Structure 1
Amino acid sequence: MRIVVQRCKSAKVTINGSVIGNIDHGLMLLVGITHEDTEKDAIYLAEKVSGLRIFEDQEGKLNHSVMDVGGAILSVSQFTLYADCRKGKRPNFMAAAKPDVAAPLYDRFNELLRDKGLIVETGEFGAEMDVELINWGPVTIILDSPTLS
């Protein structure tokens, strides 16, 4: 799994003019899933995301997690994170898992975050969405799960 984590002041996702996910301060996640990913990857990244210390403390140091600051998460599936652009000019998405594999793992990842007490809003898997955020900092981190097989 690959996740782009963006610390944000607010974020929302809209489909056909209707807001389906909306948060104030917290984390905007773009979540990509590849063929080899399992629940172990989802567990690893849910732990990593929930504890990632990218919010400032009183001294201005990045010492607090989204849980520490009472933030929420907007999680959006993003198969294009596994684009391969090494050959030609058209991306190859062969490394991205098919929807029948990716959707349940994406749902499980979000469930694991909710199990930690986090508010998690989502986009709609496989839909064309408009995603807006105010990236705070900006702080953007890319997380990959290790190969756990």
Structure 2
Amino acid sequence: MPLILGLDPSLSCTGWGVIRAEGARLVHVANGQVPTDAKAPMAQRLAHLQAALAEVIATHRPDRAAAEEVFVNKNAQSTLKLAQARGCVLAACGAAGLDVNEHAARLVKKAVVGTGAADKRQVQAMLAVLLPGVKIAGADAADALAVAIADAHLG
């Protein structure tokens, strides 16, 4: 019964979600978001992100983690910021000795909804079906739970 930490890296607000996979059954454990202060220096934002995720990992003690693969924006500056945040996310997992599986956004949507072209609304609707009664902390946490669910299915 692996405990899976799903991660949706972002510099502005990284989402996280923890589920337990019990065979085909999925159980929600926790979810949340780690926002950073856009006015703070980059080094402080990254340090805050890494420390907050280290605390999530220490609290929930997942068996493995899964993160959405980086995608390239048309805006190179946005892609660079995403890559830096993603590096912090991976470093926090690596420091805790967690293996991290990486999944493309389209694959995550397909695993959760059945189509890689699903929109955020459809993903969130399926989360309510797959994790009955779950209270989701926000859109970034929902994306992270979707990554965890996809990882449970794709293993």
TM-score bucket of the superposed structures, by smaller chain: 0.3 to 0.5
Give 1 or 2: higher strand fraction.
1
TM-score relative to the length of structure 2: 0.41
Which has the higher relative contact order, 1 or 2, with Cα contacts under 8 A spaced 6 or more apart?
1
The structure whose Rg is larger is 1
